[in-house]
A and B are shown apart, each in its own frame.
Chain A
Amino acid sequence: MVKRLLAVIGGVAAILAAVMLLRPTSTNPEEARTPWGEPDLQGLWTYEEEIPLQRLARFGNREFLTDEERAAIDKERAEILTRGAEVSDRRYERGTEQDVGGAYNAAIFTTHRPIGRRTSLIVDPPDGQIPPLTPEAQAKRAEIRAFQVALLQATDVCRNNLPGCAGGKYGPPSPRRADAPPHYLTVVGAGGPGGGGGVVNRANGPEDRNLGERCMGAMLPDFGGNTGFMLQIVQSPDSVAIFYDTAQGQGWQRVIPIRDGAHAPAHLRQWWGNSRGRWEGDTLVVDVTNFTPKTYFLGSYENLHLRERWTRLDAATIEYAVTIEDQAVWTRPWTVKQDYRKQDDFQNRIYKEPRCHEGNYGMAALLAGARTEERAFAAGRGPDPATKCNAGCGGFAFGFADTGDESNPLTR
């Protein structure tokens, strides 16, 4: 017991120490303006606090946590993670596909940031929830989901009724395995709940796999996620360059032109959209449109419209607010706010490399593995590949359990 308590204290101390190391040394507000008189957004930035995108139901319309609540949540999370570490990561039953799928070390997917003051990143609507999906978006999601579970239905995931099979049932291999998907495949969550891994349980070619596995996972907007991010901003009077170090080698370079006038022609579609920036007082306001049908953000594809507001609040802080709109997907626009804290320029903790693409042996191995399984089955030396799982199979062994008391307190 004492040992466990010490471990918990150690964990909390490590979190605090990490946060203190990240603090910038200077807080001189004079630094916050460029020589040409505009607010200075330059430097390295990241978010230092863990805040769920959507508010937990138990907080209702309450926007902020008390200090006591924050301390209690941090303590509970540290305890669960410490127990998880003691059993050398939570894992599924040894030898199952779920266990193999969870062979990643849980540490890299487990955030150690302390809980922030806000109850949710979403500040509008006031309940902190993503607005309801339109019937059109629900139908699109259901079509993708139906395709996902059809391809999973002959696997253990459905036989054992694991979360990855939600909405589906166990049965013989589906003839839909030979079909093209109903929409361009993007990320696991595009069809609703999934258990990690690829988008669909198939690897006929790279397009069957998720954008992350294809080294095209970077998206806009990005609020961090399990691997976090670091921004490097360099600014001139007519442009703001932002490098998004989103980890896993999927970082990307953005340049926002400070320019009046129309967006690029509507038929010109871009993975990261088309940005137009302008200064409104001391706030950089950026309008982003022209996304591609291959871009995905929580249900929205090419009609995603972002209105970003970048404001330097003080020497150490940028407030990033983005209003997210897609009339075909959500019944109303919604707004997210996130604070970025300035990091030490000298330490230069931003890595444009190694990139995912130059080392993407994973894709080759995944496709080669699928072809090997097909050959073995054809020769009567192995199981039907349709009964094996490589997407939505149960996923990684996170530091938190999937459900119950040991799950992440920020998700229940």
Chain B
Amino acid sequence: MQRWSTGAVILVALAAAALGASAALGARNPAATSADIARQPDGRPDLSGIWQANTEAHWDLEAHAARPGAVTQQGVYPYDYARVPAAPVLALGAAGGVPPSIGVVGGDGRIPYTPEAARIRQANGENWIDRDPELKCYLPGVPRAMYMPYPFHVVQGTSKIQMAFTFTNAARTIHLDAVEPPPDDTYMGHSLGRWEGDTLVVEVTHFNGKNWFDRAGNFHSEALRLVERFTPMTRDALWYEVTIEDPKVFTRPWTIAMPLYRRLEPNMELLEYRCVEFVEEFLFGHLRKEQLVRRWEGETMIVDITRKVPPGDKLYEWYRR
């Protein structure tokens, strides 16, 4: 019995290691690459089109169980797993939660923070609505822009690949030709691309360190360096893998990987999500002459929620009897 169980543990461990390694190396993709992919006249893969990730990575890169609310507070019991939705999302009911995810981080599935950075990440998560640059409609940065829950348009030209993002009309250019380095660090970084077979390899540098990876508080510094790999799997799917390096925040390089899917609707096109306008209340509401949101205390927004039960709601009519 003892031997059997030890053997099983070893087998399971080996299987897990193999799975982890294959995820880390993106080994799921090369086997899947089919001859039937879109190509340009020169034979290079053509990545043009409207794409979108279909993951929960924008909530949290790491594996996580579903959460009852995007913002939660301690419930009646003090356990972390018994938290309840907090005021900002309470009125949204089941639409205000966070969907679960198996995670997109390779290897052991965990982000290798230094001890100090791990504390910052923890505090980021606990103060999400105070700190996340996405909520202010700031440029999302890379790789975050690639897996936000909005479509993006890739226009593959002869010496540049332009990416136009729905979220806040963000843009990035992948230079396939030689260009001067940028004059300063930026939110979206500086992207230099090259082809390795059918894979587009992009090195991204010159970040300003003001971005996060997700809504869970995962973050990086201005020392971030990325190597992205885009490999066509089929006509309508790309395997997207990123190696992430930032010695100020992480103890070693780590990877994320996920497919990007083509939006196949025949009338698909990019529409505007001009959140610069949407967040004026969020950013400047406390400075209005007559405030719209009840209520601001100085710069602190305190959200009072009113939810009314519609007349004729059967659940409420039944229990009131």
Listed in ascending order, the chain A residues whose CB lies under 8 Å from chain B are 34-36, 40, 42, 203-207, 214-216, 232, 234-241, 243, 252-255, 257, 259, 261, 264, 268, 270-272, 274, 345-348, 351-355, 357-358, 360, 363-364, 367-368, 370-371, 374
Contact = CB atoms under 8 A, between A and B. Distances in A.
Contact of B162 (A241, A261, A357, A370): A241
B173 to A, nearest CB: 7
Interface footprint category on B? 35 or more
Contacts of A355: 139, 187
A363 B155 CA distance: 35
B311 interface: no
B43 to A, nearest CB: 11
A348 B190 CA distance: 11
Interface in B203-251: 210
Contacts of B164: 241, 253-255
Interface string B239-282: 00000000000000000000000000001011110101100100
B148 interface: no
27 contacts: A42-B158, A205-B284, A216-B274, A216-B276, A232-B160, A234-B155, A234-B173, A236-B157, A238-B48, A240-B155, A255-B153, A259-B269, A261-B267, A264-B271, A270-B272, A271-B272, A346-B180, A348-B179, A348-B182, A353-B139, A353-B186, A353-B187, A354-B186, A358-B210, A364-B284, A364-B287, A367-B284
Contacts of B210: 358
Contact of B155 (A235, A261, A348, A357): A235
B148 to A, nearest CB: 15
A239 B48 contact: yes
B41 interface: yes
A173 to B, nearest CB: 15
Given A205-B284, A214-B280, A270-B272, A42 B179 contact: no
B156 interface: yes
A125 B272 CA distance: 34
Nearest to A274: B269
A238 B139 CA distance: 27
B42 interface: yes
A354 B186 CA distance: 7
B188 A352 contact: yes
Given A235-B158, A255-B269, 5 more contacts: A42-B159, A238-B48, A241-B164, A364-B287, A370-B289
B66 interface: no
Interface string B141-169: 00000000000010111111110110011
A363 B284 contact: yes
